[in-house]
């Protein structure tokens, strides 16, 4: 397809036609993403035989499609260049920030909404503000409007609105979140931790592998040999174990792992206690986050503790995930993982069984978005256990 240029006769400039820009301008005018995508695609296809078009003619084409869809009010606003004013949101500390569609969509996704659902909610909220010519709104009033819409929505309803209420109350409480993410090699612990940190603005994350690396520099193999083996091969460093290439028993595999995990427990507890003293949220991930450790920490730490055990339940899927690590880790490490894949698979079975026994939530990793949604639903369910506030008090 030839490049289509859009010519502005007043400014005497020519720029490429960009479908994404047209979609965004239509959304800003109050068009749903689906309709905006349809209009922009049809417009591009109609322009396929042209090499250039003026901004005026392009606007006329778009207006015609809007009216054909029965969007006369939006067409009028689009025609007059009367796009929504930049709405300023007043935060609790008095700071004014511009309303961001994308940020608010992400915020809605933290309560378990799909991206399409969050986009619809933001679209309706923005339309509400635009129609009433609202230029400034408090964050609490905006959150209350969101709650009311979610509650009245046929597709979402009171249950989703309650999740919003619980999460909004928590985010303004100042309490700390401690995420404990366990799982074997290839289960997606690091990726999940990074995603949670980004989406929830948590600045402190820690990997037990990094803690083990630090401990290795402090304690040579002669002193604590079990630290210097991988979690799935730690049994080799247990006292009195012969060096064999045969299949190790499940009991010995677990014993080696537990020995190493117990050593790391001291360091992980120190990291958590430091976060508690500094009153910051923390994401702690690693194979050494054993279900028994999770279970004990829930009762010992004065914070909201969210234990998660990640799992990949399809053997071939886990194998592919480990094979894919070759782009992110040294090739020799990947080969070692593949060489011991059966041990990794058996260790995962043990961790999942222990998590199930201890009532630790198990999240099956079949995609980043699904993992994030599942973890946030678990988080809000945990927060809701002792929640007894009303909308009037939360949004006061």
Question: Could you report the per-residue pLDDT of 291-318, keeping only the tens digit for each?
Answer: 999 988 877 777 899 999 999 999 999 9
Give the other-Cβ count within 10 Å of 11's Cβ. Answer: 9
Task: Identify whether the C-beta of residue 323 lies closer than 8 Å to the C-beta of residue 338.
Answer: yes
Task: Identify whether the C-beta of residue 26 lies closer than 8 Å to the C-beta of residue 123.
Answer: no
Task: Identify whether the C-beta of residue 65 lies closer than 8 Å to the C-beta of residue 39.
Answer: yes
- Furthest C-alpha separation in the chain: 86
| Percent of the chain topping pLDDT 90 | 47
Residues with Cβ within 8 Å of 46's Cβ and at least 6 positions away in sequence, in order, are 61
Q: How much is the average pLDDT of 345-368?
A: 94
Q: What is the pLDDT of residue 326?
A: 54
- Sign (positive or negative) of CA dihedral 84, 85, 86, 89: negative
| Percent of the chain topping pLDDT 70 | 91
d(CA 330, CA 326): 6
Give the other-Cβ count within 10 Å of 96's Cβ. Answer: 9
Task: Identify whether the C-beta of residue 377 lies closer than 8 Å to the C-beta of residue 112.
Answer: yes
Q: Reduce the DSSP state of residue 305 to 3 states and report it.
A: strand
Question: Could you report the per-residue pLDDT of 3-52, keeping only the tens digit for each?
Answer: 777 777 766 677 777 787 788 778 767 777 788 888 888 888 888 766 77
- pLDDT at 224 > cutoff 60: yes
Tokens matching residue 144? 């209350």
Fold of the 177-365 domain? Rossmann fold (3.40.50)
d(CA 282, CA 263): 21
Q: Which residues in 204-218 are b (16+ Cβ under 10 Å) and which e?
A: ebbbbbebbeebeee
Cα distances from 31 to residues 40, 92, 155, 291, in angstroms, run 11, 31, 19, 48
Dihedral, 96, 100, 106, 108 alpha carbons, nearest 10: 70
How many secondary structure helices (H) and strands (E) does the chain include?
17, 11
d(CA 224, CA 222): 6
pTM value? 0.77
Q: How much is the average pLDDT of 89-97?
A: 88
Q: Structural domain boundaries of the chain?
A: 5-79, 88-171, 177-365
Task: Identify whether the C-beta of residue 270 lies closer than 8 Å to the C-beta of residue 166.
Answer: no
The H or E element spanning position 114 is none
Q: Reduce the DSSP state of residue 344 to 3 states and report it.
A: helix
Beta strand ranges found along the chain (DSSP E): 5-8, 13-16, 52-54, 88-90, 96-98, 136-138, 177-182, 205-207, 282-285, 304-311, 362-364
Question: Could you report the per-residue pLDDT of 167-187, keeping only the tens digit for each?
Answer: 999 998 888 999 999 999 999
């Amino acid at each position: 397809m030839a490049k289509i240029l859009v010519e502005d006769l007043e400014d005497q400039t020519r720029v490429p036609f960009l479908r994404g820009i047209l979609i965004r301008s239509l959304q800003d005018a109050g068009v749903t993403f689906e309709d905006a995508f349809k209009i922009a695609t049809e417009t591009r296809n109609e322009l396929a035989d042209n090499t250039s078009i003026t901004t005026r003619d392009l606007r006329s084409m778009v207006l015609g499609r809007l009216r054909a869809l029965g969007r006369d009010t939006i067409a009028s606003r689009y025609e007059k260049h009367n796009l929504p004013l930049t709405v300023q949101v007043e935060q609790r500390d008095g700071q004014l920030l511009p309303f961001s569609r994308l940020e608010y969509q992400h915020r809605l996704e933290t309560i378990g909404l799909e991206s399409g659902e969050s986009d619809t909610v933001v679209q309706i909220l923005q339309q509400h503000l635009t129609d009433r010519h609202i230029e400034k709104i408090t964050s609490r009033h905006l959150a209350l409007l969101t709650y009311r819409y979610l509650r009245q929505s046929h597709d979402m309803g009171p249950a989703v609105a309650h999740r919003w209420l619980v999460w909004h109350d928590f985010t303004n409480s100042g309490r700390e979140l401690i995420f404990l993410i366990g799982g074997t090699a290839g289960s997606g612990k690091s990726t999940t931790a990074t995603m949670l940190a980004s989406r929830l603005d948590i600045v402190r994350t820690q990997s037990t592998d990094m803690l083990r690396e630090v401990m290795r520099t402090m304690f040579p193999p002669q002193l604590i040999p079990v630290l210097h083996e991988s979690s799935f091969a730690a049994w080799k460093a247990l006292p009195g174990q012969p060096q064999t290439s045969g299949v190790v028993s499940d009991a010995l595999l677990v014993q080696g792992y537990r020995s190493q995990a117990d050593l790391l427990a001291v360091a992980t507890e120190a990291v958590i206690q430091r976060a508690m003293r500094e009153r910051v949220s923390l994401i702690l991930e690693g194979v050494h986050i054993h279900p028994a450790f999770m279970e004990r920490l829930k009762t010992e730490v004065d914070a909201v503790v969210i234990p998660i055990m990640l799992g990949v339940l399809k053997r071939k899927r886990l194998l592919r995930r480990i094979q894919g690590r070759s782009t992110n880790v040294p090739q020799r490490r990947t080969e070692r993982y593949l060489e011991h894949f059966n041990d990794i698979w058996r260790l995962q079975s043990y961790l999942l069984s222990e998590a199930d026994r201890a009532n630790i939530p198990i999240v099956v990793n079949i995609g980043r978005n699904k993992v994030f949604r599942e973890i946030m639903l678990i988080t809000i369910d945990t927060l809701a256990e002792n929640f007894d506030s009303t909308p009037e008090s939360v949004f006061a």
